Amino acid sequence: MKKVARVALRGDSILTSPRFNKGTAFTPQERTAFGINARLPYRVNTLDEQCQRAYDQLQVRKEPIRKNTFLHSLKDQNWVLYYALLSRHLRELVPIIYTPTQAEAIANYSHLFRRSEGLYLTFANYDTMEEDFLEEVRGREIDLIVCSDAEAILGIGDQGVGISTAKSAIYTLIGGIDPSRTLPVMLDVGTNNPDLLKDPLYVGWPHERVTGEDYDKFLDKFMQLVRKYFPHSLLHFEDFGLKNAHRLLQKYRPTHAVFNDDIQGTGAVALAGVMAAAGVTRSKLSEQRIIVFGAGTAGLGITTQLRDAMVSIDGISVEEANKRFFLIDRYGLLKESLAAKGLVRKEVTEYVRPDAEWPNHEGDVSLLDVVRQVRPTMLIGCSMQAGAFTESVVRAMAEGTDRPIIFPLSNPGRLVEVDPQDATNWTNGRALLATGSPFPQTSLPGNVEGKKKVVAECNNALVYPGLGFGAMISKSRIMTDTMIIAGAERLASLSPALRDPDDGLLPDFEHAPGVNFEVAVAVAEQAVEEGSAGVNWTKEEVRQRAHELVWKPEYPAYVYDPEGESE
Ligand SMILES: NC(=O)c1ccc[n+]([C@@H]2O[C@H](COP(=O)([O-])OP(=O)(O)OC[C@H]3O[C@@H](n4cnc5c(N)ncnc54)[C@H](O)[C@@H]3O)[C@@H](O)[C@H]2O)c1
Ligand SMILES: O=C(O)C[C@H](O)C(=O)O
Ligand SMILES: [Mg+2]
């Protein structure tokens, strides 16, 4: 039965509300009831017809960034149409509204700016933060807040403002979260990007980044508002800088359901990809020797997640599991002598290797040295160093293992540590690959008849919407590590490569909504089982409630009601 919504807006107010606007899809009865009969052309369109028209308009724009701005404007006009169009062309359009095109859109945010979106909380307006916050959220029910201080946007660095809205849209598109119950927040604490500071059109606060106590005071005030007005919300942190990402997660985790996507989302999707790869090679997680190249926010998140899964799934001790990892950062392998020089962050000290293991290496130990000595089964890149997995590195790895598992995860695509086609060539097709941004299928040179290999997209967007939805529907006050592992395991179980090793290690984004639904169910089931949930449902009830709570881009029937919804 069609849903009915009671709406209090009339005339221009309903036509300019992206939440309630239906454009030419308003029925004759609605046009009369809402006073917009003469504000629309005669013909009533279906949502499918509107999607067709919008798709045709989109196709006229050739460059991805032009398509991105078109879709952005569409979102400002009509949410249902925007999400319906994207849902019908997921594979084609996710890379337009999200990675990699979104990186370009953020880098040009000030020049493409058309209209306000979400909330901008600026350090310069610290004193009025609560009033400013309330102006936007008063009377609203919010389940999800996505925030960023834009210091480490993907691999493109400090952009001052941006990313929260793109991540938030993915929650709705793929995770089924009602967009009216989400709040993207840009935390503007300045920027150290000299190009932005000298750009007269820069829309953010043109001031160097606030740090230290002032930064913490600002974040604390924001957190207090979140806890005061939306104590049951999930707070998603995105693209914070290396000095803050891990620290803020640890600081606020005990008192609110916070989630750092670059640490935990990336950890979860990488774990799923790694589990699928281990499934293809018929080996256990704990049997792997893993090099993580780039021991920053994502590198630590991935390492911790894989380590915790070895402990919980394979039952080995934390100490034993730590030994499976070789972390490399800008000064080479993290080993004792590097730590003694103060060149290892304290968060990664438990993975530091003993110097005695490297008797022939007085100084730095390079990636190639580690590959030759360790004969890794897995090589994961999150270093933002394009081309760091050189031909020598990849060939050396392929000498030491039958199916080298290689994940160059840096985004956007131009920053991948190795091009998947090169990795395929250098390993004679034996590499099991996954990348952070979308890449075309690979093929072996000369093997014209041969089957192409799918390069899985190992991007946190394949899992965070489901993790969030699962935590939300189960009314969990915290997002535990075990909930995240449950989601990752469910994702891994849906790997197409388990049926056909030439297929993707992870499901294609075309299937992301269904896949995330399963992730959400697994997360909620785990939350109920371990007592993190605020509900006590059976497994059947979890699935049933999840189905009922998914937001779908469909128009409800509207009834005019002065007491009805208006926000
Ligand atoms: N696929 C995904 O879902 C996903 C998720 C998160 C991050 N990422 C990508 O991972 C990359 C890193 O992101 P982050 O948030 O961890 O950044 P970060 O700044 O926290 O970490 C990057 C790390 O790489 C290290 N590094 C720099 N130069 C190096 C070199 N020459 N050799 C080895 N290490 C070097 C830095 O010292 C730092 O520790 C980005 O490109 C980002 O887009 C991908
Ligand atoms: O935003 C993405 O595409 C993934 C990830 O969060 C990143 O920072 O690269
Ligand atoms: Mg990110």
Report d(CA 534, CA 557) in Å as an integer. Answer: 32
What is the value of ipTM here, to two decimals?
Answer: 0.99
Provide the pLDDT confidence category of residue 546 given band limits of 50, 70 and 90. Answer: very high
Residue 385 alpha carbon to ligand 1 centre in Å: 8
Q: How confident is the model at residue 360 (pLDDT cuts 50, 70, 90)?
A: confident
- pLDDT value for 444: 81
What pLDDT digit, counting tens, does each position of 251-289 carry? 999 989 999 999 999 999 999 999 999 999 999 999 999
Q: Is the CB of 301 under 6 A from ligand 1?
A: no
Read off the pLDDT of residues 80-128 as tens digits, 9 standing for 90 and up. 999 999 999 999 999 999 999 999 999 999 999 988 989 999 999 999 9
The β-bridge partners of 291 are 326, 379
Residue nearest to atom 3 of ligand 2 (CA): 99
Give residue ranges with CB within 6 A of ligand 2: 99, 154, 239, 261-262, 411, 436, 459-460
Cα angle 163-165-171, degrees, rounded to a multiple of 5: 110
What single string gives the DSSP state of each residue in 244-273?
HHHHHHHHHTTTSEEEEIIIIIHHHHHHHH
For 97-159, give the secondary structure using H, E and C: HCCCHHHHHHHCHHHHCCCCCCEEEEHHHHHHHHHHHHHHHCCCCCCEEEEECCCCECCCECC
Report the predicted TM-score, pTM, of the whole model to 2 decimal places.
0.96
d(CA 188, CA 250) in angstroms, rounded, equals 22
Residue 434 to residues 145, 382, 457, 495: CA-CA distances in angstroms? Answer: 29, 12, 6, 12
Token code pair at residue 518: 């399963």
Q: Is 437 in the pocket of ligand 1 (CB under 6 A)?
A: no
Asked whether residue 239 is marked as a ligand-binding residue, the answer is: yes
List, by residue number, the catalytic residues.
98, 167
Ligand 2 atom, smallest distance to 409 CA = 9
Distance 157 CA to ligand 2 centre (A): 12
4 sits in which H/E element: strand 4-7
Q: With bands split at pLDDT 50, 70 and 90, how would you rate the model's confidence at 449?
A: low
Which domains does the chain carry? 4-98 (1.20.1370.30), 102-256 (3.40.50.10380), 264-459 (3.40.50.720), 462-549 (no CATH)
478 — pLDDT class (breaks 50, 70, 90): confident
Question: Which of these, 407, 558, 465, 563, lies nearest to 17 by C-alpha position?
Answer: 558
Ordered DSSP codes for 152-190: SBTTTB--SS-SHHHHHHHHHHHH---GGGEEEEEEE--
- Answer yes or no: is 360 a known binding residue: no
DSSP secondary structure letters along 45-106: PPHHHHHHHHHHHHHH--SHHHHHHHHHHHHHH-HHHHHHHHHHTHHHHHHHHSTTHHHHHH
The token pair that represents 506 in the structure block: 């992870």
Is 68 in contact with 162 (CB distance < 8 Å)? Answer: no
Query: Ligand 2 centroid vs 190 CA: distance in angstroms?
Result: 21
